[in-house]
C-alpha cells in the first residue's frame, strides 16, 4: 500500500504545488490582496488556501517563504477586522495554525469575546460550527485566552436537538431536510463544546451522540470491492465530501471523549478503501477531502486501519517472481510488528480446490516487505485468488489497529505458452483428401504460398499448452484473410478437443468474399492476459480462384479513405522549363544594332534638307519654359516606349503614359497658344 500511496502522493503534490504557484504568480502580477479576492470583491479564498496548506502538511511538502509573505497579511487583516464573519475568522485561524503568523495576543481576546457572543445567540449549525471551531483554534494558539463556554450543556443540547433518528443532522431547527454532511459538522462542533466546557459535559448526552454515530454508520453504502461511503441526499454535496465530513467529525468527537464508539472495524477499513480507491480527484476541494480524511483515519483513537497490498498483481512463471506483500497504514506509514499468512490460494474457476494452504510469508525489515520465496509447482498460468491473514504480534495492538481479517487479492500468473503441431492445408471437397499441406512455425517467421479454388477448403490447426502441459484456451484466437483490395474477413478459431482448428469452405464463402479472386494475405492472432508470448503473425498468402459474380451479386463495401493519403503531403511536382533558344553571334547582334540607328541618321539628314530652324522657339521666359517642358514630355514618352520594350509590362506602361499624356496636353496647349498669338500679331502688323 505504501508504494501506491507514494505514487498517489507524488501526483497530488505536483497538482497542488502547480495550483498554488499559479495563485502566487497571479498575486505578484496584480497585488497580493488580489490573491484572495473573488469576482464580487470579497475575500473568500482563505478556505481554499487552508485546504491547500493542510494538504501540503499531510503530504510532507515544505511550504515556501512566499506563501507566508502573501498570506499572513490577509490573515492579520481578517482577524483584526470588526466586519469579519465567523467563517472568515475560522479559516483565518486555521491558516494561522499552519503558517504561525505574528498575531497580537490582544486580538485573540477580542475575537474570543465576539465568538462567544455568536455561540450564545446562534441558531444555525453552520454558525455554531465556525464559532466553536474558531474558539478551539484560539485555545491551541493562546492558552491564556478565555475561550471557555459557560453554558456548555445548553449549547451541547441545542446542537443535539438538530439530530435525526437516522443519525443525520439538520442545519437549523426550521430546516426540514437532514444531511449526512451536516452530521459531520455537528460532530466537530460537539467535540469543540466538550473541549471548551468549563465543567464536564453530562455523560448521558455524550452517550446519546455515540448512539447517533452508530445509527449513522448503519446507513453506509457499500461497493462490490468492499469500500464503504456515505451517500448524500442533498444535491450540492457528493459522496466524497459527505464521507469526508463524517470522518472528520467522528475522529474529532472520539479524540475528546472517553470510552469506545463501538464502530465495526470493517466499516472503518471500508472507508479507508473508499478514499484510497478514488485515485487523484479532479479538483483541489476533492483532493483536500481525500487527503485530510486519510490523515484523520491515520491518527484516530478508535481504530486505525491497516492496508494489505501487493506491489505487483502479475507474477511470471518465466521470471520466477517472488510473491510480495506490504502492510501499511492508509498514508504509507510502517505497521506495528505483525505476520502475514497465506491462508489459501485457489483458481478463480475452482474455489473448492486450493493449490496452496497455510504458508507464512518471510519479512524483510529493510524493505518492510513480506514475501513468499517459491510458488507451489502446481501453480499454472491463469487467474487466482490469494487469501491472506494479518496477525499482530502484540495483543494490545488489536485495540488500536484493525487488520481486516482475511483479505482476498486477485493475482494473475503468466507464462510462456507452448505452440505445437501447427499446420495449414488446402483440402479438396472430401476432407480426407489433402492437396497441399505445410508446417508452420508460429514462434518464428512464415511465408506460405497456397492456391485454391471455390471447390476447395482451407484448414488451419495448432495446439496450445501451458508450462505444466495443460491445454490452454486463450481469450482471443482470430484468423484474418485480407484481399489485395484491402477487403478483410475475420474468423474466430474454435477449440476442438485438444487443438484449435478452423476449416474455411470457399464454396459457401464466395458471397461473403464478394466473388473477389486474387491474393489473400493470411494473418493469425492469439492473445490472452496470462500469455506472455501472445502474437499477431502473418502466415503467408493464398491465391483464390472464385467464379465470376452474377449480375445481382453484392459489391464489396467502399474502403475507408486513409486520412494520411487524403490530407497528407502531395507528391512533389517537377517543373520542366523550356530550353533557351540559340542566340546569334555577338558580331551579328552589333551589326543589327548599327542598322537600327540608320533611320535616325536619315531623320537628321531630312531635317537639314528641309532647312528646319528654331527661329519660332519662344524667347519669353514663361512660353519658353512651356516649350522646353513640351519637348521634354515628348522625349519622356519615347523613353517610356524604350522601357516598355525592355522591362515594363503593358499595364504599368499605360498608367505612366496616362500621366505623361495629361502633362503633354497642358504644356503643349500653352505652347501652341503662344505661337498662335505671336503669328496673329505678326500678320496684323
Decide if 368 contacts 2 (C-beta within 8 A): yes
Helix axes 284-298, 239-256, angle to 10 degrees: 30
- pLDDT value for 430: 66
Decide if 373 contacts 322 (C-beta within 8 A): yes
Q: Which three cell numbers stand for residue 277?
A: 480507491
Q: In this predicted model, what pLDDT tens digit does every residue of 315-370 receive, in sequence order?
A: 999 988 888 999 999 998 899 999 999 999 998 878 778 888 899 999 999 989 99
Expressed in angstroms, the distance from the first to the final Cα of the chain is 129
HSE-up of 534 (CA within 13 Å, CB side)?
15
| Rounded Cα–Cα distance for residues 162 and 196 (Å) | 20
- pLDDT value for 432: 62
| Rounded Cα–Cα distance for residues 157 and 152 (Å) | 8
Length of the chain: 685
- pLDDT value for 405: 85
- pLDDT value for 431: 60
- pLDDT value for 131: 94
If we measure between CA atoms, which residue out of 382, 381, 401, 383 comes closest to residue 391? 401
- pLDDT value for 672: 87
Cα dihedral 234, 240, 244, 247 sign = positive
- Segments of the chain with pLDDT less than 50: 1-44
The DSSP symbol for 233 reads: S
User: How would you write 8-68 as a 3-class SS string?
Assistant: HHHHHHHHHHHHHHHHHHHHHHHCCHHHHECCCCCECCHHHHHHHHHHHHHHCCCCCHHHH
How many helices (DSSP H) and strands (DSSP E) are in the chain? Answer: 17, 23
Decide if 276 contacts 415 (C-beta within 8 A): no
- pLDDT value for 281: 83
| Rounded Cα–Cα distance for residues 501 and 504 (Å) | 10
| Rounded Cα–Cα distance for residues 202 and 156 (Å) | 10
- pLDDT value for 613: 66
Neighbours of 282 (CB within 10 A): 9
Judging by DSSP bridges, how do beta strands 448-453 and 494-496 pair with one another? unpaired
If we measure between CA atoms, which residue out of 542, 319, 318, 538 comes closest to residue 444? 538
Quickly tell me which residue has 449480375 as its cell. Answer: 551
Work out the angle at residue 111's Cα, subtended by the Cα atoms of residues 110 and 117, and round it to the nearest 5 degrees: 95
Neighbours of 390 (CB within 10 A): 22
User: Residue 663: phi, psi to the nearest 5?
Assistant: -65, -45
The secondary structure element, H or E, covering residue 402 is strand 401-402
| Rounded Cα–Cα distance for residues 194 and 157 (Å) | 12
Neighbours of 564 (CB within 10 A): 8
3-class SS of residue 327: strand
The DSSP symbol for 43 reads: B
- pLDDT value for 21: 42
Q: Which three cell numbers stand for residue 612?
A: 528646319
| Rounded Cα–Cα distance for residues 246 and 271 (Å) | 11
| Rounded Cα–Cα distance for residues 234 and 178 (Å) | 9
Q: Which three cell numbers stand for residue 100?
A: 504561525
If we measure between CA atoms, which residue out of 627, 601, 630, 603 comes closest to residue 615? 627
Amino acid at each position: 500500500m505504501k508504494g501506491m500511496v507514494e505514487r498517489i502522493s507524488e501526483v497530488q503534490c505536483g497538482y497542488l504545488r502547480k495550483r498554488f504557484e499559479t495563485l502566487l504568480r497571479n498575486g505578484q502580477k496584480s497585488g497580493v490582496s488580489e490573491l484572495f479576492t473573488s469576482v464580487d470583491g470579497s475575500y473568500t479564498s482563505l478556505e481554499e488556501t487552508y485546504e491547500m496548506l493542510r494538504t501540503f502538511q499531510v503530504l510532507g511538502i515544505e511550504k515556501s517563504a512566499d506563501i507566508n509573505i502573501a498570506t499572513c497579511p490577509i490573515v492579520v487583516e481578517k482577524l483584526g477586522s470588526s466586519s469579519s464573519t465567523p467563517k472568515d475568522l475560522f479559516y483565518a485561524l486555521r491558516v494561522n495554525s499552519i503558517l504561525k503568523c505574528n498575531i497580537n495576543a490582544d486580538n485573540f481576546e477580542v475575537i474570543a469575546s465576539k465568538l462567544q457572543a455568536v455561540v450564545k445567540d446562534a441558531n444555525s449549525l453552520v454558525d455554531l460550527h465556525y464559532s466553536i471551531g474558531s474558539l478551539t483554534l484560539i485555545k491551541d494558539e493562546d492558552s491564556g485566552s478565555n475561550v471557555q463556554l459557560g453554558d456548555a450543556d445548553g449549547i451541547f443540547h441545542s446542537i443535539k436537538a438538530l439530530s435525526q433518528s437516522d443519525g443525520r443532522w439538520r442545519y437549523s431547527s426550521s430546516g426540514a431536510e437532514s444531511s449526512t454532511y451536516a452530521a459531520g459538522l455537528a460532530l466537530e462542533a460537539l467535540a469543540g463544546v466538550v473541549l471548551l466546557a468549563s465543567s464536564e459535559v453530562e455523560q448521558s448526552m455524550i452517550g446519546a451522540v455515540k448512539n447517533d454515530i452508530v445509527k449513522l454508520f448503519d446507513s453506509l453504502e457499500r461497493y462490490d470491492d468492499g469500500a464503504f461511503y456515505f451517500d448524500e441526499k442533498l444535491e450540492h454535496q457528493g459522496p466524497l465530501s459527505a464521507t469526508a465530513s463524517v470522518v472528520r467529525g467522528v475522529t474529532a468527537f472520539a479524540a475528546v471523549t472517553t470510552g469506545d464508539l463501538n464502530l465495526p472495524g470493517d466499516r472503518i477499513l471500508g472507508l479507508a478503501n473508499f478514499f484510497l480507491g478514488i485515485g487523484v480527484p479532479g479538483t483541489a476541494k476533492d483532493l483536500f477531502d481525500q487527503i485530510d480524511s486519510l490523515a484523520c483515519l491515520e491518527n484516530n483513537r478508535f481504530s486505525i486501519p491497516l492496508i494489505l497490498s501487493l506491489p505487483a498483481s502479475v507474477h511470471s512463471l518465466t521470471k520466477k517472481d517472488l510473491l510480495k506483500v506490504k502492510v501499511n497504514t492508509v498514508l504509507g506509514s510502517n505497521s506495528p510488528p505483525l505476520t502475514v499468512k497465506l491462508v489459501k490460494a485457489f483458481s478463480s474457476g475452482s474455489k473448492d480446490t486450493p493449490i496452496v494452504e497455510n504458508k507464512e510469508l518471510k519479512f524483510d525489515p529493510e524493505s518492510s516487505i513480506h514475501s513468499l520465496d517459491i510458488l507451489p509447482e502446481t501453480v499454472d498460468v491463469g487467474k487466482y485468488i490469494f487469501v491472506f491473514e494479518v496477525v499482530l504480534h502484540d495483543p494490545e495492538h488489536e485495540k488500536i489497529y484493525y487488520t481486516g481479517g482475511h483479505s482476498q487479492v486477485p493475482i494473475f500468473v503468466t507464462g510462456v505458452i507452448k505452440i505445437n503441431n501447427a499446420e495449414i492445408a488446402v483440402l479438396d471437397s472430401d476432407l480426407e483428401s489433402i492437396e497441399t499441406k505445410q508446417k508452420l512455425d508460429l514462434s518464428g517467421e512464415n511465408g506460405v504460398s497456397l492456391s485454391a479454388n471455390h471447390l476447395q477448403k482451407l484448414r488451419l490447426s495448432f495446439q496450445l499448452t501451458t508450462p505444466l502441459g495443460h491445454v490452454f484456451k486463450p481469450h482471443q484466437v482470430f484468423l484474418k484473410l485480407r484481399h489485395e483490395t484491402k477487403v478483410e474477413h475475420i474468423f474466430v478459431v474454435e477449440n476442438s478437443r485438444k487443438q484449435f482448428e478452423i476449416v474455411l469452405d470457399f464454396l459457401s464463402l464466395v458471397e461473403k468474399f464478394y466473388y473477389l479472386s486474387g491474393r489473400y494475405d493470411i494473418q493469425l492472432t492469439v492473445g490472452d492476459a496470462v500469455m506472455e508470448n501472445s502474437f499477431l503473425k502473418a502466415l503467408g498468402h493464398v491465391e483464390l480462384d472464385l467464379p465470376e459474380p452474377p449480375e445481382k451479386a453484392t459489391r464489396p463495401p467502399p474502403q475507408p479513405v486513409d486520412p494520411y493519403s487524403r490530407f497528407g503531403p502531395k507528391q512533389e511536382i517537377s517543373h520542366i522549363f523550356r530550353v533557351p533558344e540559340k542566340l546569334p553571334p555577338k558580331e551579328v547582334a552589333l551589326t543589327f544594332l548599327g542598322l537600327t540607328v540608320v533611320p535616325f541618321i536619315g531623320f537628321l539628314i531630312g531635317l537639314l534638307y528641309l532647312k528646319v530652324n528654331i527661329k519660332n522657339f519662344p524667347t519669353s521666359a514663361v512660353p519658353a519654359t512651356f516649350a522646353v517642358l513640351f519637348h521634354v514630355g515628348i522625349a519622356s514618352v519615347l523613353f517610356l516606349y524604350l522601357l516598355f520594350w525592355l522591362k515594363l509590362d503593358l499595364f504599368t506602361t499605360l498608367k505612366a503614359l496616362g500621366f505623361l499624356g495629361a502633362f503633354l496636353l497642358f504644356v503643349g496647349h500653352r505652347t501652341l497658344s503662344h505661337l498662335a498669338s505671336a503669328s496673329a500679331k505678326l500678320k496684323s502688323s
